[in-house]
Amino acid sequence: MTKRRGSPVKAGKLPPEKLRELVLSRLGRTRPEVLVHARLGEDSAVADLRGRLLVVSSDPITGASAEMGRLGVHVACNDVAAMGADPLGVQIVLLLPDGTTEADIAAIMGQVADAAEELGIEVMGGHTEVTSKVGAPIIVLTAIGVVEREHLVTSAGARPGHGLLVTKPVGLEGTAILATDRTEELLATLGPEGLERARGFFSEVSAVRDGRVAARLGASAMHDVTEGGLLGAVWEMAQASGCGVEVWEEAVPVREETRQVCRRFGIDPLRLISSGAMLAAAPDAGAVVQGLRDEGLEAAVIGRVLPVAEGVRVVRVSGEVQPISAPPVDDLWRVLSS
């Protein structure tokens, strides 16, 4: 038997220092066509196709079986939209456990097809396999998009003095997942109508239009809000941009259903997975917010970009200033695993 070397790796995303050491230091040859390379805080790569730029991003869905097909498409496409790109299509790797039925596969792919139809994109290929190596369905999607060079936005463009904004209320995805997976526990909290509204938040997990409009309006940096919630996205944007950031909790939009769910499970809404929300920085964040609202999109100014020496912090409603020195762990997974 081959002896295993090194320390065991904990479940979840690799810590930043281990990501740099074990993954980002092993990327092969650097190609001149690649404009945005793999690095901490960036979710997509960008290549120059002698005119328009190719944007590619991959994401897995492992913890939300009820809507995994829909979520997978939207989460992957949100990543390319965060670069200002228009998604063209997705490729899908679907790994399924023993016992999966034909109806199960048809249901997942039906969700994929519906989401692709909503976005006007094509499923361009992939791989489907039933394997004893997985205990639950896993779907990995790669989104492919294009953008004109002058409209490209990355996570690295925030600068001190810029304002910080977010589209949509935070926590919509996490609220919908918990309303679906923890129905009995939340029925007394939300009531039947509130529970139905919370489940309906799945219909708002696309941030593609948010990203397109924000890029056109002058966003200097964007990041979709996924694991780690708003504070996770803020931390990653700060890392990519080499800046500090201050978030004002009181200014962050949160729906009442999300607040009730978070109180029930002891969750910080700012640390709840939030696909559908797009974080952005801009020299004139107020103007971008107004432009988004003029297009029928929800948006709010929630903070400011600072010099790197001031660090990343959140000013709570109480007035307490909390530093964020590491990427926050998403509270959703703690609840689902309990």
- Is residue 210 within 8 Å of residue 297, measured between CB atoms? yes
Residue 42, domain CATH: 3.30.1330.10
- Same domain for 197 and 121? no
- Same domain for 183 and 237? yes
pLDDT at 64: 57
Q: Evaluate whether residue 1 is within a structural domain.
A: no
Cα–Cα distance measured from residue 93 to residue 17, given in angstroms and rounded to the nearest whole number: 28
Q: Evaluate whether residue 10 is within a structural domain.
A: no
- Same domain for 167 and 143? no
Q: Evaluate whether residue 7 is within a structural domain.
A: no
Measured CA angle at 300 (ends 295, 305), to 5 deg: 120
**How many structural domains does the chain have?**
2
Q: Evaluate whether residue 182 is within a structural domain.
A: yes
In the listed set 126, 151, 176, which residue is the last one of a domain according to the structure?
Answer: 151
CA distance to 44, 58, 275, 324, per residue, from 85 (Å): 10, 15, 17, 30
Average pLDDT of every residue of the chain: 91
- Same domain for 185 and 313? yes
List pLDDT tens digits, range 80-116: 999 999 998 998 898 989 998 888 899 999 999 999 9
Q: Is 139 helix (H, G, I), strand (E, B) or coil?
A: strand
Q: What are φ and ψ of residue 145, in 5° steps? A: -140, 170
Domain that holds residue 280: 163-336
pTM of the model: 0.86
Residue 258, domain CATH: 3.90.650.10
- pLDDT interval class at 12 (50, 70, 90): low
Portion of the chain with pLDDT greater than 70, in percent? 97
List pLDDT tens digits, range 142-170: 999 999 988 999 999 999 999 999 999 99
- pLDDT interval class at 46 (50, 70, 90): confident
- Same domain for 26 and 92? yes
